[in-house]
């Protein structure tokens, strides 16, 4: 069998490095990537550990298909206890790092302890070194990557790095590779900073064994056709992910001025077509690029056309950047969005989290809860582009009282600010919501409330619910590979049937993250894209591992349950507003004020919402409090965890 891939355990406190082959039985239970990381985190991290202490374990991995003959296997996953939420920390990024890590000999890294001084890890063809990083400390994310290449004399080295935000322990600092590939959520860059770990650099020329290479390549041709023929991916290949913001804003599904409105009006300058114009003007007509092994090429390249950073090259902006630096703070300048995107990429910060926090602070300033004294004289009003960009830098370097407070995250900041500021913070489990407004979409609201790492659009979101697909099509998707004969509705305003959709998507996305492929290559935005029926052959041809669609679904269930178990161990409570599966009161109390006819006046019915949570818990095998039933743990083989098998 081709599955002889290795894991490395690296202790930064002692310098000890241990390598192991990943046991086949663990592969059969968790596959790899995020799923296996969940098992490793639960087993290598003690209950109640300090997220910024040496006892927190950082996992870095590729999926089981990474660096094989399967398309779009570029995703790198990171996991640790989150310094932002105190619960599960998990983030995922594209680019070229994970394949290079595989070619360097490893699919999973388990990083423990804390270095006494700044270091970086260098991995090359099965060898691992811990090297001095004093000369890298203080550098931006791109400066760090280029400096490592120069030191090693190799332009092919791929690195995942932190910027100044991670060094300054901003709790939502991210990990970057390349120009803009970001593991952006839950503060994994902060964990690296707390360990004095500036970067992990990899270079590999080793083989990755393919079980049946001819069949794998032939089968992948079908995948490529399936992926590139989807209308959603063709659109992304032209406009990138900003096309989602354009469509959602026109309908009335984005939050503006924090959570006061659900549509950004007079915003032509930040529409995806305008962003595309700037990219074309500054980089030429062929400005779209992509990740390893991907045919979609959804990432734009641009130069900032004017302003203080005129001429600076960057990539993106993504869907989230338009919301973070456009819609939420009500700033309607393309230059502002592109500049904000550039700054967070260089500093290494989650664009979604920082945009939401600044917009929250702007609403508090508007309401008089924050004063000019607390903002150090900054006029933090909505639509103030200069103030927005200034706050990004201040937060990165913790300059001033407010910036320092926000750098700790929304909930700690609300405790420092007081005056009912928490009521206006749009978060779940301590992590700020995406810039979307789910008051008109109960299924998406349920997803946001119950996702494992906090408010999330990449853990269980049934985005195709907005397509109004015929029930026959919905049954073909959601009735496979596990039979389901309950209600399903083409109406996105309906509550019935949505818990099953969220449950199915949660398992679909976990499987995707275990395989190491991109979510745009499954049923996320494209109803015809590959899913459980397609994965057994691609797994078998590349790894030799034989699995049924039902077995893959169960692996996803098991892995999601381990994440749930970790959160429960760290204090998750069902209805808690700070550590539970619950939405901010504004979802239930304040109706939408703009948008299409089916959006204006919409709000979430709390009684129906709570019933949806009950139904979702039942599908997941949880009791009414959200705790796994004993029979569920036994069915999934988790009744003896932590097992410390690896």
Tell me the per-residue pLDDT of 356-394, one tens digit each, with 9 for 90 and over. Answer: 999 999 999 999 999 999 999 999 999 999 999 999 999
% pLDDT > 70, the chain: 100
In a domain? residue 223: no
209, 127 Cβ separation under 8 angstroms: no
Quick one: 270 and 335 in the same domain?
yes
Q: Which of 432, 466, 487 is the last residue of a domain?
A: 432
> CB–CB of 238/406 below 8 Å?
no
pLDDT at 68 exceeding the cut of 90: yes
Q: Of 4-8, 14-18, 625-629, which gets the smallest average pLDDT?
A: 4-8
Instruction: Tell me: do 585 and 449 sit in the same domain.
Output: yes
Residue 344: CATH number of its domain: 1.10.569.10
Domain shared by 579 and 553, yes or no: yes
pLDDT in tens, 19-34: 999 999 999 999 999 9
* Residue 39 pLDDT greater than 80, yes or no: yes
Least trusted range by pLDDT, from 185-194, 220-229, 399-408, 472-481:
220-229
What pLDDT is attached to residue 2? 73
Residues 95 and 189 in one domain: yes
Q: Under a CB-based contact definition with an 8 Å cutoff, are residues 292 and 95 in contact?
A: yes
What is the rounded CA–CA span in Å between residue 465 and residue 405?
Answer: 38
From the number of C-beta atoms within 10 Å of its C-beta (0-12, 13-18, 19+), residue 207 rates as exposed
Domain that holds residue 184: 6-203
Quickly state the pLDDT bin for 1 (edges 50, 70, 90).
low
Instruction: Write the CATH number for 34.
Output: 3.60.9.10
pLDDT at residue 216, rounded to an integer: 96
The DSSP code sequence of 259-282 is TTBS---S-GGGSHHHHHHHHHHH
Sequence-separated (6 or more) residues with CB below 8 Å from residue 150? none
Residue 208 lies in a domain: no
Instruction: Name residues whose C-beta falls within 8 Å of residue 422's C-beta, 6 or more positions apart in sequence.
Output: 411, 414, 415, 577
Q: Is residue 210, in this structure, part of any structural domain at all?
A: no
Confidence of residue 396 (pLDDT cuts 50, 70, 90): very high
**Of 260, 92, 90, 104, residue with least CA distance to 186:** 90
* pTM, 2 dp: 0.97
Domain edge (last residue) among 399, 432, 465: 432
DSSP reduced 3-state for 91: strand
Q: Distance between CA atoms of 337 and 221, rounded to whole angstroms?
A: 37
What's the gap between Cα 230 and its chain centre?
23
Q: Say if 66 falls within a structural domain.
A: yes
Residues 184 and 276 in one domain: no
Say if residue 155's pLDDT is above 70.
Answer: yes
For the residues 272-291, what does the mean pLDDT come to?
95
- Residues 62 and 60: their CA atoms lie apart, in Å, by 7
Helix or strand (DSSP H, E) at 183: strand 181-183
Same domain, yes or no: 469 and 407: no
Q: Is 553:532 a contact under the CB 8 Å cutoff?
A: yes
481-488: long-range contacts, CB 8 A cutoff, minimum separation 24 = 481/532, 481/533, 481/548, 481/549, 481/550, 481/552, 481/553, 482/550, 482/553
Domain count, the chain: 3
Contact 128, 10 (CB under 8 A): yes
Q: Are residues 339 and 410 in the same domain?
A: yes
> 216, 186, 28: which is closest to 92 by C-alpha?
186
Residues 481 and 547 in one domain: yes
Give the confidence band of 171 by pLDDT, cuts at 50, 70, 90: very high
User: Mapping DSSP to helix (H, G, I), strand (E, B) and coil, where does residue 63 land?
Assistant: coil
What's the rounded Cα separation, in Å, for the pair 331 and 350? Answer: 18
- Statement to judge: residues 477 and 569 lie in one domain: yes
446, part of any domain: yes
Query: Do residues 450 and 422 both lie within one domain?
Result: no
The lowest-confidence range among 231-245, 302-316, 349-363, 467-481 is 231-245
Tell me how crowded residue 528 is: count the other CB atoms within 10 A of its CB.
Answer: 14
pLDDT of residue 3: 84
Same-domain status, 459 and 394 = no
Note whether 449 and 425 are same-domain residues. no
pLDDT over threshold 90, residue 4 = no
CATH of the domain at 490: 1.10.599.10
Q: Would you tell me how many other CB atoms lie within 10 Å of the CB of residue 621?
A: 17
Q: Which long-range contacts (CB under 8 A, 24 or more apart) does 305-309 make?
A: 305/278, 305/281, 305/334, 305/335, 305/338, 306/335, 307/335, 307/339, 308/339, 309/339, 309/342
- Is 161 strand, coil or helix? strand
Is residue 553 one of the residues assigned to a domain? Answer: yes
Question: What is the rounded average pLDDT for all residues in the chain?
Answer: 96
SS3 assignment, position 75: coil
pLDDT at 223: 86
Q: Which two tokens stand for residue 563?
A: 């994440």
Cross-strand bridge partners of residue 130 = 121
Of 406, 432, 458, at which residue does a domain stop? 432
Domain membership of residue 209 (yes or no) is no
Whether residue 618 lies inside any domain: the answer is: yes
């Amino acid at each position: 069998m081709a599955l002889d891939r290795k894991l490395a355990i690296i202790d930064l406190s002692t310098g000890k490095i241990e390598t192991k082959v990943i046991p086949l039985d663990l592969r059969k239970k968790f596959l790899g990537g995020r799923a296996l990381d969940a098992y490793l985190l639960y087993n290598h991290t003690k209950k109640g550990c300090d997220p910024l202490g040496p006892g927190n374990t950082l996992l870095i991995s590729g999926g089981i298909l990474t660096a094989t003959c399967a398309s779009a296997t570029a995703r790198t996953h990171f996991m640790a206890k989150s310094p932002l939420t105190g619960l599960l920390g998990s983030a995922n990024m594209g680019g070229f790092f994970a394949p290079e890590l595989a070619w360097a000999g490893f699919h999973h890294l388990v990083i423990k302890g804390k270095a006494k001084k700044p270091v970086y890890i260098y991995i090359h063809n099965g060898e691992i070194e811990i090297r001095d990083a004093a000369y890298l400390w203080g550098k931006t994310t791109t400066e760090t990557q280029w400096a490592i290449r120069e030191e090693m004399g190799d332009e092919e080295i791929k690195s995942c790095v932190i910027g100044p935000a991670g060094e300054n322990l901003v709790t939502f600092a991210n990990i970057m590779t390349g120009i803009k590939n970001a593991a952006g959520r839950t503060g994994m860059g902060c964990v690296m900073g707390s360990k004095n770990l500036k970067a992990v650099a990899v270079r590999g020329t080793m083989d990755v064994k393919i079980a049946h290479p001819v069949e794998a390549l032939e089968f992948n041709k079908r995948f490529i056709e399936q992926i590139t023929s989807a209308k959603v991916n063709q659109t992304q290949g032209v406009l990138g992910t900003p096309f989602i913001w354009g469509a959602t804003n026109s309908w009335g599904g984005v939050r503006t001025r924090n959570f006061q409105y659900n549509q950004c009006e007079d915003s032509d300058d930040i529409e995806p077509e305008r962003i595309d114009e700037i990219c074309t003007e500054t980089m030429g007509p062929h400005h779209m690029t992509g990740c390893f092994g991907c045919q979609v090429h959804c990432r734009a390249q641009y130069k900032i056309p004017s302003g203080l950073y005129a001429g600076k090259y960057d990539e993106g902006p993504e869907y989230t950047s338009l919301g973070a630096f456009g819609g939420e703070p009500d700033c309607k300048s393309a230059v502002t969005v592109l500049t904000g995107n550039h700054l967070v990429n260089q500093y290494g910060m989650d664009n979604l989290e920082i945009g939401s926090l600044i917009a929250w602070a702007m609403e508090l300033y508007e309401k008089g809860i924050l004063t000019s004294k607390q903002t150090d004289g900054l006029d933090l009003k909505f639509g103030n582009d200069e103030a927005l960009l200034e706050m990004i830098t201040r937060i990165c370097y913790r300059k001033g009282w407010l910036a320092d407070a926000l750098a700790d995250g929304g909930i700690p900041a609300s405790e420092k600010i007081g005056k009912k500021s928490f009521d206006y913070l749009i978060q779940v489990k301590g992590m700020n919501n995406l810039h979307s407004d789910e008051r008109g979409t109960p299924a998406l609201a349920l997803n946001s409330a119950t996702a494992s790492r906090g408010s999330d659009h990449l853990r269980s979101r049934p985005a195709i619910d907005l397509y109004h697909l015929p029930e026959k099509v919905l049954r073909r998707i959601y009735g496979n590979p596990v039979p389901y004969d309950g209600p399903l509705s083409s109406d996105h305003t309906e509550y019935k049937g949505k818990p099953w959709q969220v449950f199915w998507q949660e398992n679909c996305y976990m499987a995707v993250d275990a395989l190491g492929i991109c979510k745009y290559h499954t049923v996320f935005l494209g109803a015809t894209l590959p899913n459980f029926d397609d994965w057994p052959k691609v797994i078998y041809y590349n790894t030799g591992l034989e699995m049924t669609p039902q077995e893959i679904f169960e692996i996803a269930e098991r892995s999601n349950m381990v994440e749930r178990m970790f959160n429960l161990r760290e204090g998750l409570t069902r209805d808690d507003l700070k550590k539970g599966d619950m939405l901010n009161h504004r979802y239930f109390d304040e109706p939408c004020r703009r948008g299409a006819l089916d959006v204006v006046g919409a709000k979430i019915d709390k009684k129906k919402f709570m019933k949806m949570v009950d139904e979702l818990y039942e599908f997941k095998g949880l009791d009414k409090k959200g705790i796994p039933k004993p029979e569920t743990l036994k069915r999934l083989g988790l009744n003896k965890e932590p097992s410390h098998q690896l």
